[in-house]
Amino acid sequence: MLSSRAPGDRAAVTLAAASQVDGVSSIMPVWTRRRRVGWTLGAAVASQLIACYGLNPTGPTAPVAVQNPLLVSVTIEYTQPAGCLGGGHCSDKVVFFADWMRPGTEFFLTPDPGNFTWRGVALGVPVNYPPHENPTPYQVRIYDPHLLASPTQGFTGDRLVVGSESLNQVQSSGTPGVHDLVYIDSNGQGHNAY
């Protein structure tokens, strides 16, 4: 519906909209209707922002601090078999490996004089006992030059004591991937995996 006023008059160019509200017909200029919708939307957005602020008036919380694992020292003891299958390598040193170590940080064990026992201390071992939601024991093994000609190519998980615990969970026996499983507690004591 167009206004009946003269051209150039502001009201003349404004279209009027007819609407039915509760059975009553009303005529409202389009610009007034748009203004009312704008105010209604603005009020709705403002009320939502106030409601969100009311839920958390102190602002965002700080992230939870990541705690580094507790590190301990662990004693290692290995008993070498008396017979040597290593050919010319029988005088080589015994080496300790563990999966908590970075490559290149494996270390030589020191022989006890007069017997076939080798000892050492692993430093900076992360505690993983008691096991948490994902219980993953450490894999440990020894390279022994006396066993070089065996099917394991010198590696073993037998006769190994870690943190005063004689390990008995040898995995992949008879292969070069042979290893034993152990948990380490906060006192540096070993615990068999099963």
Spell out the domain ranges in the chain: 10-55, 71-192
Residue 163's Cβ-side half-sphere holds a number of Cα atoms within 13 Å equal to: 24
pLDDT of residue 138: 95
pLDDT of residue 131: 79
pLDDT of residue 1: 44
pLDDT of residue 168: 92
pLDDT of residue 108: 97
Distance of CA 25 to the CA centre of its chain: 67
* Average pLDDT of adjacent 10-residue blocks, the chain of 194 residues: 50 44 52 62 70 59 82 96 80 94 95 93 93 84 92 94 95 94 95 87
pLDDT of residue 167: 95
pTM of the model: 0.65
Rounded CA-CA distance 149/153 in Å is: 6
Residue 85 three-state SS: coil
Rounded CA-CA distance 89/87 in Å is: 6
pLDDT of residue 2: 46
The residues near 32 (Cβ < 8 Å, ≥ 6 apart) are none
pLDDT of residue 132: 76
